[in-house]
Structure 1
């Protein structure tokens, strides 16, 4: 029997709002080794044509994958997670940062209990920041 919550095709998972702050970007940069200044320095980000400091794409993906794993109740149930980065998340230099809205819809439930989710991640401007985000969870 699967440890996954019982779902059927078309069900929507409860959404979650995740804050992304400049301090969080600096911590992620140190942990990941991605010290590109576009993720922490406004001058550099603007100089290369960005609208401001942007979150690491892999951080955005990791937050979406964490959302799925927490919904599943066990991160080992996540068999795969794939996505494309479609739009950056601009993170203002203030105490609030940016909000990432996460959600998912059940695309399929296979006979063996495998669940496929279409995951959404929406930036503060209301536009999607991940495209074709798909999570497959094993029974």
Structure 2
């Protein structure tokens, strides 16, 4: 099936994959902007001392990255009616950086409300990092 814009969406359509890079500089900037200075997001030694494999991305950064991809595909953040997910695995960010891969499928289109429900898949390092990630977008 061909990929269409959000305005032409039909059930079964897909979007992505979109790759979003994340480096430790991104995590430092996010920590400053969000006020979340937890050292598991910036200090490799500390992260490993608490049992993590390395520094991890903020869960809300990961959700925001996925939301940005959905809103760009939908034609703007104003078209996103609902968006949510469960955090199931952290995005590990080694010194060389990491990537988050985001794609999705249109699960259903409501012709009365002109809203589409999306199943969004978010992975990093080959593992799913967000579960039950869904969005509802306004088509027009």
User: Is the TM value for this pair above 0.5?
Assistant: yes
Aligned equivalents of 1:5, 1:55: Cα separation in 2: 32
Aligned equivalents of 1:116, 1:23: Cα separation in 2: 34
**Unpaired runs of at least 5, structure 2:** none
Aligned equivalents of 1:4, 1:89: Cα separation in 2: 28
Runs of 4+ in structure 1 over 2 Å off: none
**Unpaired runs of at least 5, structure 1:** none
RMSD: 1.2
Partner of 1:108: 108
Question: Residue by residue, what CA displacement relative to the aligned partner does 1:97-116 show, whole Å, maximum 9, x if unpaired?
Answer: 00111001001100221011
How far residue 5 of structure 1 moved from its aligned partner, in angstroms, is 2.3
Structure holding more strand per residue: 2
Q: Does 1:138 align with 2:138?
A: yes
SS across alignment from 2:8: coil
Aligned equivalents of 1:76, 1:121: Cα separation in 2: 22
Aligned equivalents of 2:56, 2:127: Cα separation in 1: 15
